[in-house]
Amino acid sequence: HRPGQGRQQQELADEAGQVIDMLSYKATAARVMIELRAPRDVSFVGDAVRWSQVIMNLTTNGIDAYDDIDEASGRPRRVVVALAHTPAGCVCTVADWGSGIAPDHLSRVFDPFFTTKSCSGAAGTGIGLSIAKRIIEKDFKGRITVTSEPMTGTVFSIFLPMISVESADEAASFEPRRI
């Protein structure tokens, strides 16, 4: 945890922007542009470090999706992180126009140790998406979905429900008892 942070009101755009800054070298080396589309006032209650971990994983995967795409193909080489309010909370999408995910792999992308990354290109352990899903569902009480089409791209969508600081504190302080 960062000092003084944890389960409190967080600005999603600020946290996502910091992750994008951290990934700028990797993106530049891969000749991929990362774009953040976000109003300044999209916020949530939760742990900023855990949120950053999710955005880091999804954005890194988006950059890696271009490993097998020829730069001369004319396809956009960018990852777009977009944030928006909804009446019930907020939505974050991370989209790329890279290699996509085969239909028979889509149902498994959140399984621990499942990876589609080759040994020759970006090596993956297959735990990043399973950790991201656990963080979104357990820590933030949200949901994460994926849509993808081979050689067209992938979109990960995250919904975070509106929650107050007080109810987040209650959930964080709940300790199950052994009987």
Residue range 98-118, pLDDT digits in tens? 999 999 999 999 998 888 766
Q: Taking residues 167-177, what's their average pLDDT? A: 44
Average pLDDT over residues 152-158: 96
- The pLDDT of residue 21: 97
Query: Rounded to an integer, what distance in angstroms lies between the CA atom of residue 90 and that of residue 112?
Result: 26
Q: What is the pLDDT of residue 173?
A: 43
Average pLDDT over residues 13-36: 95
For residue 171, pLDDT beyond 50: no
Q: Given a cut of 90, is residue 60 above it in pLDDT?
A: yes
CB 101 within 8 A of CB 150: yes
Non-local (6+) Cβ contacts of 51 within 8 A are 10, 12, 15, 44, 135, 140
